Amino acid sequence: MIDQFATKATYGQVFAVAQFRAVFAGRLLGVMSDTLRSVALAVLVFDQTGSPLLTAMTMTIGFLPQAAGGLFLAAMADRFSPRTLITTGYALQCAVGLLLAFGHLPVAPSLLLVAAVACLTPVTTGATARVLAAVLTGDTYVLGRSLSYIVAVSAQMVGMAAGGTLVVWLGVERTMLVTAGAHLLASVISRLFLSHTDVVRASGSAVAGGSAVAGGSIVRKTLQGNAALVAAPGVLKLIMVQCLPAAYLAAAGSLLIPYSAQRGFNPTETGILLAATSVGMLIGDVVIGRAFTPATRERLVLPLLLVMGTPSITLVLDLPYPAVTAAYVVTGMGSAYLLGLQRRFLEALPSHLQGQGFALLNTTTMSIQGVGPLVFGVFAEFLPVGLAIALTGVSSVTTTLLLRDVARPRK
């Protein structure tokens, strides 16, 4: 029997799949719009309240609500047509943008509106992952997941960079209109170019029309499905090895502004540092994805995890600025370890819980990324910031060693 994952694919083969191009375009527009909206809303909240705390909350208000969506709504990812879920998700985001542009809402309702729609993010993420698993095979699936990750990082970088400029140029309300228009375009692309698929129940029978409300409430099915996923062999450990290092990476990035202030770096240097991890992620994913075979990528999981954690430890020393920048770039490159886990995670998921499995992964990742900066931020209140950043590296390396069995390729 031929192992499709053993044959190396190319990015060109991935983009040759029409439905992947639709997912890619929608994700690019969606993530960029989400980032732009966060920046614009943060400016609006600061103008109205003058509160740095509320402004900071605004930038992260879309993360923690995803935990609620993943815990109670994720079963929707397997019980409705992916096209329906993705199209509806982008349409709801468009509606939020329009309300923020024209509603002149107070701060609290604005934040609640963004938080409410964020609860559905795990559902649309799971649906998107189902599309990729259905239309991509073998190593094209691994590279497709990599490209999906790359486009999210790139779109966030562009959104952050362009957000401030657009708000100054257009104003908050018109910037919100831009985000609404981009989400509408993503919804239209998804509607036109994604195929309608029936939903398959655990018994194997199809649910016509993609409307699968029978068989129990969404909340109950989600809780049952999450319990089944946690109990499935290997799933929990694979989620942990994908999520925990990401939390340490996010924590190291969240301390850059106080670290730069402590070291006396100027604003331009700080901006470059803030982008360094994302640059490393892009380099790592492209190089590892393009230059190495699938089997080699799986063997590189453990070394890349160590590459991801070790550079941060050096910040316990007062390194010169170029060395600090290089440390963050190399740390970002280590995140390419995820490429070597995509096949194993897909194969570990029960087929009837595939969408919910990816939703649970996304929910756990986003939740832990929200908690990680908070934990190490507390350390930075009592320790030198460089030492707190070094502790993120120590924690990452320790976690890698504890999970080394799951990080190693199967024999």
Task: Tell which residue, 338, 325, 323, 242, has the closest CA to residue 278.
Answer: 325
Residue 207: the pLDDT is: 43
Alpha-carbon 187 to chain mean position: 19
Long-range contacts of 292-297 (CB under 8 A, 24+ apart): 293/6, 293/8, 294/5, 294/6, 294/7, 294/8, 294/139, 294/142, 294/343, 295/6, 295/409, 297/142, 297/339, 297/340
Contact 28, 155 (CB under 8 A): yes
Residue 275's Cβ-count burial label (10 Å; 0-12, 13-18, 19+) is middle
Contact 66, 121 (CB under 8 A): yes
Alpha-carbon 365 to chain mean position: 7
* Percent above pLDDT 70 for the chain: 87
Span 64-90, mean pLDDT? 83
Residue 96: the pLDDT is: 94
- Phi and psi at residue 232, to the nearest 5°: -65, 140
Contact 141, 6 (CB under 8 A): no
Span 215-227, mean pLDDT? 78
Q: Which of 351-355, 365-369, 400-404 has the lowest mean pLDDT?
A: 365-369
Residue 57: the pLDDT is: 65
pTM of whole model > 0.75? no
Contact 20, 129 (CB under 8 A): no
Residue 200: the pLDDT is: 44
138 backbone φψ class: left, alpha, beta (φ>0; ψ -120 to 50): left
Residue 264 has pLDDT above 70, yes or no: yes
Q: How far apart are CA 224 and CA 233, in angstroms?
A: 16
Q: How far apart are CA 34 and CA 109, in angstroms?
A: 17
Residue 398: the pLDDT is: 94
Tokens of 18: 């029409």
Residue 59: the pLDDT is: 64
Q: How far apart are CA 278 and CA 335, in angstroms?
A: 10
- Phi and psi at residue 184, to the nearest 5°: -65, -45
Torsion angle, CA of 98/99/100/103, rounded to 10 degrees? 120
pLDDT 10s digits, 151-204: 776 676 667 667 667 777 888 889 899 999 999 999 999 999 998 765 544 434
Residue 291 has pLDDT above 70, yes or no: yes
HSE (side-chain half, CA atoms, 13 Å) at 206: 7
Q: Which residue has the higher pLDDT, 115 or 365?
A: 115
* Residues in contact with 197: Cβ distance below 8 Å, sequence separation at least 6, in sequence order: 81, 82, 83, 134, 210
Residue 68: the pLDDT is: 79
Residue 252: the pLDDT is: 85
Tokens of 403: 């999970």
Tokens of 256: 């850059």
**Which letter does DSSP use for residue 292 in this model?**
S
**Which letter does DSSP use for residue 207 in this model?**
E
Contact 78, 130 (CB under 8 A): yes
Look at residue 265 and give its three-state secondary structure.
Answer: coil
